[in-house]
Structure 1
Amino acid sequence: MKSQEIRSTFLSFFEEKKHSILPSAPMVLKDDPTLMFVNSGMAPFKEYFLGHGEPKNTRIADSQKCLRVSGKHNDLEEVGYDTYHHTLFEMLGNWSFGDYFKKEAIAWAWELLTEVYGIDKDILYVTVFEGSDDGDKLSLDTEAYDIWKQYISEDRILKGNKKDNFWEMGEQGPCGPCSEIHVDIRSDEEKAKVSGKDLVNMDHPHVVEIWNLVFMQYNRKANGTLEPLPNKHIDTGMGFERLCMVLQGVQSNYDTDVFTPLIREIETISNKQYGESDKVDIAIRVISDHVRAVAFSIADGQLPSNTGAGYVIRRILRRAIRYGFTFLDKKEAFIYRLVDVLSKRMGTAFPELKAQKQLIENVIKEEEQSFLRTLDQGLVLLNKMVDETKGNVVSGEKAFELYDTYGFPIDLTALILSEKDLKLDEKGFNEELEKQKKRSRAASEMSTDDWTILTEDTEEGFVGYDTLEAQVKITRFRKVSSKKDGDLYQLVFNVTPFYAEGGGQVGDKGYLEDAHGDVIYIIDSKKENNLIIHFVKNLPNHINESFRAVVDAKQRLRTESNHTATHLLHQALREVLGTHVEQKGSAVHSKYLRFDFSHFSKLSVEELRDVENFVNRRIEGKLPLEEKRNVPKEEAMAEGAMSLFGEKYGDTVRTIRFGQSVELCGGTHVSNTSDIWHFKIVSEGAVAAGIRRIEAITNDAVKDFYFENNRAYFEMKDMLNNAKEPVKALHSLQEENSALKKQIEVLLKDKAKNIKAELKNELLDVNGVQFLAKKLDLDAAGLKNLAFELGSQFDNLFLLFATEQNGKALLSCYISKGLVAEKGLNAGQVVRELGKFIQGGGGGQPFFATAGGKHPAGINDALKKAKEYIS
Structure 2
Amino acid sequence: MTSSEIRDNFLTFFKGKSHTIVPSAPMVIKDDPTLMFTNAGMNQFKEYFLGNSVSKYPRVADTQKCLRVSGKHNDLEEVGKDTYHHTMFEMLGNWSFGDYFKEEAIQWAWELLTKVYKIDKESLYVSVFEGSKDEDNLQMDKEALELWKAIVPEERIIYGNKADNFWEMGDQGPCGPCSEIHVDMRSKEEKAKIPGAQLVNKDHPEVIEIWNLVFMQYNRKADGSLESLPEKHVDTGMGFERLCMVLQGVHSSYDSDIFTPLVRELEVLTGKSYGKDKETDIAIRVVADHIRAVAFSIADGQLPSNNGAGYVIRRILRRAVRYGFTFLGTSEPFIYKLVKVLVTTMGEAFPELKKQIVLIENVVKEEEHSFLKTLEQGLILLDEIISKTKGKTVDGEKAFELYDTFGFPIDLTSLILSEKGLALDEAGFNKAMTRQKERSRSASEVSKDDWNIVSEKGDQEFLGYDQLQAEVRLVKYRKVISKKEGAQFQLVFDKTPFYPEGGGQVGDKGYLEVPNGDVVYILDTKRENNEIVHFAKNLPKHLEQTLTAVVDRGKRASTERNHSATHLLHQGLRLILGTHVEQKGSAVHSGHLRFDFSHFSKMTEEEIQRVEDFVNQRIREKLPLQEERNIPMEKALKEGAIALFGEKYGEQVRTVRFGDSIELCGGTHVSNTADIWHFKIVSEGAIAAGVRRIEAITSDAVRDFYEDKNQQLDEIKSHLKSSGDPVKAVEHLLEENNAMKREIESLLKDKARSLKIQFKGELESIDDFYFLAKEVDLDAGAMKDLAFEMGQEEDKLFLLFASSKGGKALLSCYISKELVASKGWNAGQIVKELGKYIQGGGGGQPFFATAGGKNPAGIQKALKQVRSLIS
The alignment's TM-score, normalised by the length of structure 1, stands at 0.52
In structure 1, C-alpha distance between the alignment counterparts of 2:27 and 2:304, rounded to whole Å: 14
- Flag the 1:393–1:39 CA change in 2: closer, same or farther, 3 A: closer
Matched-pair contact (CA < 8 Å) for 1:397–1:429: no
Deviations for 1:244-287, whole angstroms, at most 9, x for unmatched residues?
00000010111100001100000111111001111000000000
Matched-pair contact (CA < 8 Å) for 2:374–2:408: yes
SS at the partner of 2:297? helix
Among 647, 651, 661, the alignment partner of 1:709 is: 651
The answer for the alignment partner of 1:769 in structure 2 is none
- Flag the 1:128–1:401 CA change in 2: closer, same or farther, 3 A: same
In structure 2, C-alpha distance between the alignment counterparts of 1:296 and 1:157, rounded to whole Å: 37
- Flag the 1:425–1:55 CA change in 2: closer, same or farther, 3 A: same
Residues 838-853 of structure 1 mapped to structure 2, 5 A cutoff: none
- Flag the 1:581–1:189 CA change in 2: closer, same or farther, 3 A: farther
In structure 2, C-alpha distance between the alignment counterparts of 1:173 and 1:107, rounded to whole Å: 27
The answer for the alignment partner of 2:288 in structure 1 is 288
Deviations for 1:747-781, whole angstroms, at most 9, x for unmatched residues?
xxxxxxxxxxxxxxxxxxxxxxxxxxxxxxxxxxx
Residues 668-687 of structure 1 mapped to structure 2, 5 A cutoff: none
Deviations for 1:180-212, whole angstroms, at most 9, x for unmatched residues?
000000111111111100111111111110100
Deviations for 1:666-702, whole angstroms, at most 9, x for unmatched residues?
xxxxxxxxxx97876667xxxxxxxxxx8458xxxxx
Deviations for 1:821-847, whole angstroms, at most 9, x for unmatched residues?
xxxxxxxxxxxxxxxxxxxxxxxxxxx
SS at the partner of 1:69? coil
In structure 1, C-alpha distance between the alignment counterparts of 2:604 and 2:356, rounded to whole Å: 21
In structure 2, C-alpha distance between the alignment counterparts of 1:639 and 1:367, rounded to whole Å: 30
Among 429, 433, 437, the alignment partner of 1:432 is: 429
- Flag the 1:595–1:145 CA change in 2: closer, same or farther, 3 A: same
Structure 2 stretches of 5 or more lacking a match?
A: 438-564, 609-636, 655-871
In structure 2, C-alpha distance between the alignment counterparts of 1:152 and 1:598, rounded to whole Å: 62
- Flag the 1:148–1:389 CA change in 2: closer, same or farther, 3 A: closer
Matched-pair contact (CA < 8 Å) for 1:396–1:424: no
SS at the partner of 1:265? helix
Residues 382-401 of structure 1 mapped to structure 2, 5 A cutoff: 382=382, 385=385, 395-401=395-401
In structure 2, C-alpha distance between the alignment counterparts of 1:402 and 1:304, rounded to whole Å: 21
Cα deviation, residue 139, structure 1: 1.8
- Flag the 1:44–1:677 CA change in 2: closer, same or farther, 3 A: farther
- Flag the 1:189–1:571 CA change in 2: closer, same or farther, 3 A: farther
Cα deviation, residue 598, structure 1: 9.2
Matched-pair contact (CA < 8 Å) for 2:221–2:227: yes
The answer for the alignment partner of 2:3 in structure 1 is 3
Residues 668-817 of structure 1 mapped to structure 2, 5 A cutoff: 695-696=646-647, 705=649, 708-710=650-652
Cα deviation, residue 55, structure 1: 1.4
Residues 466-481 of structure 1 mapped to structure 2, 5 A cutoff: none
In structure 1, C-alpha distance between the alignment counterparts of 2:391 and 2:153, rounded to whole Å: 64
In structure 1, C-alpha distance between the alignment counterparts of 2:578 and 2:64, rounded to whole Å: 25
In structure 1, C-alpha distance between the alignment counterparts of 2:318 and 2:220, rounded to whole Å: 38
- Flag the 1:426–1:677 CA change in 2: closer, same or farther, 3 A: farther
Matched-pair contact (CA < 8 Å) for 2:217–2:232: yes
Q: 1:184 and 2:184 equivalent?
A: yes
Structure 1 counterpart of 2:176, which letter?
A: G
Matched-pair contact (CA < 8 Å) for 2:587–2:593: no
The answer for the alignment partner of 1:127 in structure 2 is 127
In structure 1, C-alpha distance between the alignment counterparts of 2:322 and 2:408, rounded to whole Å: 9
In structure 2, C-alpha distance between the alignment counterparts of 1:122 and 1:603, rounded to whole Å: 61
In structure 2, C-alpha distance between the alignment counterparts of 1:52 and 1:339, rounded to whole Å: 39
Cα deviation, residue 424, structure 1: 8.1
In structure 2, C-alpha distance between the alignment counterparts of 1:386 and 1:137, rounded to whole Å: 50
- Flag the 1:404–1:212 CA change in 2: closer, same or farther, 3 A: farther
In structure 2, C-alpha distance between the alignment counterparts of 1:248 and 1:349, rounded to whole Å: 19
Structure 1 stretches of 5 or more lacking a match?
A: 441-568, 616-626, 628-632, 643-675, 684-693, 698-704, 714-871
Residues 330-729 of structure 1 mapped to structure 2, 5 A cutoff: 330-382=330-382, 385=385, 395-409=395-409, 426-429=423-426, 431-433=428-430, 436=433, 573=569, 576=572, 595-596=584-585, 695-696=646-647, 705=649, 708-710=650-652
Cα deviation, residue 576, structure 1: 4.7
Matched-pair contact (CA < 8 Å) for 2:51–2:231: no
Structure 2 counterpart of 1:46, which letter?
A: K
In structure 1, C-alpha distance between the alignment counterparts of 2:104 and 2:175, rounded to whole Å: 19
Matched-pair contact (CA < 8 Å) for 2:40–2:169: no
Cα deviation, residue 407, structure 1: 2.9
Deviations for 1:312-360, whole angstroms, at most 9, x for unmatched residues?
0010000000100000111111101111110000000000111111111
Cα deviation, residue 142, structure 1: 1.1
Matched-pair contact (CA < 8 Å) for 2:50–2:230: no
Residues 290-305 of structure 1 mapped to structure 2, 5 A cutoff: 290-305=290-305
In structure 2, C-alpha distance between the alignment counterparts of 1:176 and 1:158, rounded to whole Å: 17
In structure 2, C-alpha distance between the alignment counterparts of 1:126 and 1:346, rounded to whole Å: 31
- Flag the 1:602–1:19 CA change in 2: closer, same or farther, 3 A: same
Cα deviation, residue 377, structure 1: 2.5
Structure 2 counterpart of 1:185, which letter?
A: M
The answer for the alignment partner of 2:20 in structure 1 is 20
Cα deviation, residue 67, structure 1: 0.3
Cα deviation, residue 300, structure 1: 0.7
Deviations for 1:400-439, whole angstroms, at most 9, x for unmatched residues?
32134423255765798899xxx78624246424875999
In structure 2, C-alpha distance between the alignment counterparts of 1:316 and 1:3, rounded to whole Å: 25
- Flag the 1:416–1:185 CA change in 2: closer, same or farther, 3 A: closer
The answer for the alignment partner of 2:159 in structure 1 is 159
Structure 1 counterpart of 2:69, which letter?
A: V
The answer for the alignment partner of 1:311 in structure 2 is 311
- Give the stretch that moved more between structures: 256-265 or 569-578: 569-578
In structure 2, C-alpha distance between the alignment counterparts of 1:61 and 1:267, rounded to whole Å: 36
Structure 1 counterpart of 2:71, which letter?
A: G
In structure 2, C-alpha distance between the alignment counterparts of 1:580 and 1:390, rounded to whole Å: 68
RMSD (Å), alpha carbons: 4.1
Identity %: 63
Cα deviation, residue 385, structure 1: 4.5
- Flag the 1:162–1:386 CA change in 2: closer, same or farther, 3 A: closer
In structure 1, C-alpha distance between the alignment counterparts of 2:566 and 2:115, rounded to whole Å: 52
In structure 2, C-alpha distance between the alignment counterparts of 1:385 and 1:211, rounded to whole Å: 46
In structure 2, C-alpha distance between the alignment counterparts of 1:314 and 1:18, rounded to whole Å: 41
Matched-pair contact (CA < 8 Å) for 2:58–2:98: yes
The answer for the alignment partner of 2:322 in structure 1 is 322
Deviations for 1:295-317, whole angstroms, at most 9, x for unmatched residues?
00111111111111111001000
In structure 1, C-alpha distance between the alignment counterparts of 2:395 and 2:52, rounded to whole Å: 53
Cα deviation, residue 228, structure 1: 2.4
Cα deviation, residue 375, structure 1: 1.5
SS at the partner of 1:288? helix
- Flag the 1:599–1:232 CA change in 2: closer, same or farther, 3 A: farther
Cα deviation, residue 219, structure 1: 2.5
Matched-pair contact (CA < 8 Å) for 1:393–1:424: no
Q: 1:62 and 2:46 equivalent?
A: no
In structure 2, C-alpha distance between the alignment counterparts of 1:63 and 1:126, rounded to whole Å: 22
In structure 1, C-alpha distance between the alignment counterparts of 2:191 and 2:273, rounded to whole Å: 31
The answer for the alignment partner of 1:847 in structure 2 is none
In structure 2, C-alpha distance between the alignment counterparts of 1:570 and 1:149, rounded to whole Å: 68
Matched-pair contact (CA < 8 Å) for 1:581–1:598: no
Residues 242-257 of structure 1 mapped to structure 2, 5 A cutoff: 242-257=242-257
SS at the partner of 2:41? coil
Matched-pair contact (CA < 8 Å) for 1:267–1:274: yes
Structure 2 counterpart of 1:397, which letter?
A: E
Structure 1 counterpart of 2:56, which letter?
A: K
In structure 1, C-alpha distance between the alignment counterparts of 2:336 and 2:198, rounded to whole Å: 43
The answer for the alignment partner of 1:263 in structure 2 is 263
In structure 2, C-alpha distance between the alignment counterparts of 1:262 and 1:162, rounded to whole Å: 37
Structure 2 counterpart of 1:124, which letter?
A: L
